[in-house]
Amino acid sequence: MHTMLLRFFLMFYCSTAFPHSGPEIPEPLPLKPLGIAFGWDFDKPEITVQAVTKNLNVLFGTGGNIAVSTGKDGVLIVDDQFPSLMPNIEAAIGELGGQAIDFVVNTHWHFDHAEGNLALGPKGAWLVSHSNSRSMMLDDHLINLVVASYLQKAYPEEALPTVTFDKTMQFHINGERVDLFHFGPAHTTGDTAVIFRTSNAVHLGDVFNNAGYPFIDAGNGGTLDGVIRFCTETLKLINKDTVVIPGHGAITNYNALKDYIDMLSIIRTRMMAMIEEGATLDEVVAAGLTKEWDEQNGDNTGFINRSYMSLTHKIVDR
């Protein structure tokens, strides 16, 4: 069903092309129709929980994956999905022994990972992000998903991160050292890798997508080269036993992240060879650059478009 809906959006919204610039930017969709396209059910949201360690769990629901640290010092979560889902999220955390959410780390500023700030900020949670993510939350921004688009509105003051960092930051909570790292523009310009040292786990947000090809927000400064670099730098900081939490999809491991880097690097090499020969986006799309991975990852339209745009700097979104 998910694939069929995406194909519908492709046919409906992407029938007209600009020379060298890919499909015309679709008119922004409201959140609910957009959610339907991505298989999100706001009417009957379900939260499932997977344990990493006794004190670290992952919540799966509508939007990005949420890491939850609970213990004697309180509750720290990584990403917070949507305000309407907060009762379900809080109930799940309660079942883990947690109470009120004390700290929220946004891996980046996109709505499906940070919109829960609108509920948690007014409740007194400390909101934390990279400085670029906070800057992006100050204004309206169009997110061109290629198969659709979404206009993310500026956040009110109470939903903005009150603590930001530029390169690194640390928490010491629940017997855990939590390291935050930023390695430059990647999925967005404000991505954060969150490493739980005691639990030996890392949450990468949407820099690492385990539910298909990555989306690169090229219209707002994201780059394919940056995604490869960000994941490579993260790989240096973890080990072969590290649990890897993606922005979307199932929890996985070091080898899966390494394979992801290898896949992106091979595709980039193929794409750059065509770009250097003067290939248009349509020619790159038709070349089957991702054919070995299409069965596993599904539709590559947005990935190829945004990768091409980031490598050629032919962005027409802004």
Rounded distance between C-alpha atoms, residue 234 and residue 204, angstroms: 9
Identify the pLDDT of residue 23. Answer: 59
- Crossing angle between the packed helical segments 254-276 and 301-312, to the nearest 10 degrees: 60
Distances in Å between the Cα of 316 and the Cα atoms of 41, 123, 175 are 31, 39, 47
Radius of gyration for the chain, computed over Cα atoms and rounded to the nearest angstrom: 19
Model confidence at 8, pLDDT cuts 50, 70, 90, reads very low
Rounded distance between C-alpha atoms, residue 63 and residue 80, angstroms: 9
Model confidence at 35, pLDDT cuts 50, 70, 90, reads confident
Query: In this predicted model, what pLDDT tens digit does every residue of 161-193 receive, in sequence order?
Result: 999 999 999 999 999 999 999 999 999 999 999
Model confidence at 19, pLDDT cuts 50, 70, 90, reads very low
* Predicted TM-score (pTM) of this structure: 0.91
Query: In this predicted model, what pLDDT tens digit does every residue of 263-283 receive, in sequence order?
Result: 999 999 999 999 999 999 999
CATH 3.10.105.10 fits 2-312, yes or no: no
Which range among 23-27, 105-109, 110-114, 228-232 shows the weakest confidence by mean pLDDT?
A: 23-27
Identify the pLDDT of residue 27. Answer: 87
Query: In this predicted model, what pLDDT tens digit does every residue of 127-156 receive, in sequence order?
Result: 999 999 999 999 999 999 998 999 999 999
Query: In this predicted model, what pLDDT tens digit does every residue of 221-271 receive, in sequence order?
Result: 999 999 999 999 999 999 999 999 999 999 999 999 999 999 999 999 999
Rounded distance between C-alpha atoms, residue 103 and residue 69, angstroms: 10
313 Cβ neighbours under 8 A, 6+ residues apart: none
88-119: b (≥16 Cβ within 10 Å) or e: bbbebbeebebeebbbbbbbbbbbbbbbbbbb
Identify the pLDDT of residue 21. Answer: 44
Model confidence at 30, pLDDT cuts 50, 70, 90, reads very high
Distances in Å between the Cα of 222 and the Cα atoms of 20, 209, 226, 249 are 19, 14, 7, 21
Identify the pLDDT of residue 44. Answer: 81
Q: In the chain, what are the domain boundaries?
A: 2-312
Model confidence at 314, pLDDT cuts 50, 70, 90, reads low
Model confidence at 313, pLDDT cuts 50, 70, 90, reads confident
As a whole-number percent, the residues of the chain with pLDDT over 90 amount to: 84
Model confidence at 36, pLDDT cuts 50, 70, 90, reads confident
Identify the pLDDT of residue 38. Answer: 79
Average confidence score pLDDT of the chain: 92
